[in-house]
Structure 1
Amino acid sequence: MSSTPHPELVTTFRAMAEVVYRGQSFEAVHLAVCQAAVRLVDGCDHASLMVRRHGQVVTVAASDDVARASDEVEREVGRGPCLDVLDEDAPHQHICADLRDGCEWPELGRRLTAELGVHGLAGFRLRQDGTKLGSLNVLSDTPGALTTASLDQATLLVAFASVGLAALHRGEEAATLRRGLESNREIGKAVGLLMAMHGIDDEQAFGMLSQVSQEMNLKLAQVAAQVIETHGPRSA
């Protein structure tokens, strides 16, 4: 696998980072995440972000009216990939690439295809400092357009968004935030090493990093760098 990021990914992440660096609101960051999903994730035509507030699941940002309406339909049905990822015991991502073909949520599939022309849907849990925050919802107008590559791209976007939202929540200064976002690649390497060493998934590995960070009062990037130095491959 090439270590060189895709130019579109780099450009989009820089634009998102600038939103956070300028100290804009959570609303601005939420919208930037949705817009980035449409640009970055293969097959994504619409995107939204839902969060749980005071026991209610609400849409805090959407790329367009279709995405917002899709969230409303899913809330009315009461089940779907975007709502299910908010369940702590559920997988951190759900996907149905073709809502007409054996979808786990048949009622939702029928309504989305008939009412909105949506044929593919995926939900990704978004975490902030290791706690459940909400879900990034990715929608496609084309059956089968959401693929494993789409999952990888959306997962990376969610990781980036989590770092930015967590930093904004803590009120970090712009320079500190910039260093944290730029170190995200190192955090990803550390997560990968922990997954390989312990046979765990990415969410559990990130949780391990976060726990050590909190217990030792160190930045997440510092913990990641130590993991890489200790367990990473040695140069010849």
Structure 2
Amino acid sequence: MSTPIPATPADPDGLAEIADAVVRLGEQLRTVTADTLVEAVIRQAAETLPGARWASITTLRHDTFRTLAATGEKARQADALQYRVGSGPCVDALLEDSVHRSGDLAHDARWPEYGARVARELGVRSALAYRLILVPDPDLIAALNLYSDVPDAFDDQTEWAGTMLATHAAWAVSTALAQERAENLEVALRSNREIGTAIGVLMTQHKLTRRQAHELLRLASQDSNRKMAEIATEVVDTGQLSMPRRPGRPAPGARGD
């Protein structure tokens, strides 16, 4: 369990305590695995920053918002409500490249609909959101979001400390998404290899052209509502292609006139 940063006046000694706490956080993050980095950051944010009760990470790609990770369902719901109404501290932090803080969401004129609803429906009274600087990706932006059920939960010192923590959050998100892209690429390459091998099996067994073999796999995938790579693996393992017959469809290997 992390020790909360003391919410003392912003004097040099207080800033030193904050800096030491963030350094300790960075050291802790180096010991976690890549697939748990984001969760570790937001957990530490909620435990370390004064006033924070819940935390989450939002990403925006191609006009689609996504909660990448959250410390609890309350944070996910607070995020989702912003996505639905199209405004809020998180959304504005993303779109305006800024930091947004509110200590009275229920009466905040910047987000009248969101603020009133999130306070009434979820009991969230304060919010603090940072846009994150990620490894260059023109299609992706992200934000660190902090929530509290206490009014005026975040002060200037907390905002400053959160800025330093957001640096770790940006690194964690960049690392996690890079791993996700690498894993997706590996899956795609493996699927393509399976499909290529299955096409070769069908071409050899049924004297088909490459195009005809590929079309049979596509039809089998469509008719069975299964992924083509899954069908291809089955062909490679069994040497057989099973597919529902439509009236008038030729059997695999049959040639038209």
TM-score (norm 2): 0.58
Once the two structures are aligned, what percentage of the paired residues are identical? 28
2:126 paired residue among 109, 120, 132:
120
How many angstroms does 1:126 deviate by?
0.9
1:77 paired residue among 68, 71, 85:
85
Are 1:143 and 2:156 matched, yes or no? no
Query: Closer, same or farther in 2 for the Cα pair 1:17/1:111, shift >3 Å?
Result: same
Amino acid at match of 1:14: E
Residues 90 and 130 in structure 2, CA contact (< 8 A), matched pair in contact too? yes
Query: Closer, same or farther in 2 for the Cα pair 1:170/1:58, shift >3 Å?
Result: closer
How many angstroms does 1:101 deviate by?
3.4
Are 1:17 and 2:25 matched, yes or no? no
User: What residue in structure 1 maps to residue 68 of structure 2?
Assistant: 60
Aligned partner of residue 30 in structure 2, secondary structure: helix
What does 1:209-228 align with in structure 2 at a 5 Å threshold? none
How many angstroms does 1:55 deviate by?
2.8
Residues 98 and 144 in structure 1, CA contact (< 8 A), matched pair in contact too? yes
What does 1:1-236 align with in structure 2 at a 5 Å threshold? 1-2=12-13, 4-6=16-18, 8-19=21-32, 22=33, 24-25=34-35, 28-87=36-95, 90-129=96-135, 133-166=141-174
Residues 134 and 142 in structure 2, CA contact (< 8 A), matched pair in contact too? no
Aligned partner of residue 161 in structure 1, secondary structure: helix
Query: Closer, same or farther in 2 for the Cα pair 1:58/1:167, shift >3 Å?
Result: closer
How many angstroms does 1:91 deviate by?
4.3
Query: Closer, same or farther in 2 for the Cα pair 1:32/1:70, shift >3 Å?
Result: same
Amino acid at match of 2:29: M
Cα-Cα RMSD: 2.3
Residues 99 and 113 in structure 1, CA contact (< 8 A), matched pair in contact too? yes
Query: Closer, same or farther in 2 for the Cα pair 1:75/1:169, shift >3 Å?
Result: closer
Deviations 1:151-189 (A, max 9, x none): 111111111222344466678xxxxxxxxxxxxxxxxxx
How many angstroms does 1:84 deviate by?
1.1
Q: Structure 1: where are the runs of 5+ without partners?
A: 172-236
TM-score (norm 1): 0.62
Aligned partner of residue 94 in structure 2, secondary structure: coil
> Which whole-Å CA distance do the structure 2 matches of 1:167 and 1:59 have between them?
16
> Which whole-Å CA distance do the structure 2 matches of 1:168 and 1:56 have between them?
18
Residues 17 and 164 in structure 1, CA contact (< 8 A), matched pair in contact too? no
Q: Structure 2: where are the runs of 5+ without partners?
A: 1-11, 180-257
> Which whole-Å CA distance do the structure 2 matches of 1:166 and 1:135 have between them?
12
Residues 56 and 71 in structure 2, CA contact (< 8 A), matched pair in contact too? yes
Aligned partner of residue 79 in structure 1, secondary structure: coil
Residues 43 and 145 in structure 1, CA contact (< 8 A), matched pair in contact too? yes
Query: Closer, same or farther in 2 for the Cα pair 1:168/1:101, shift >3 Å?
Result: closer
Amino acid at match of 1:125: R
Residues 40 and 153 in structure 1, CA contact (< 8 A), matched pair in contact too? no
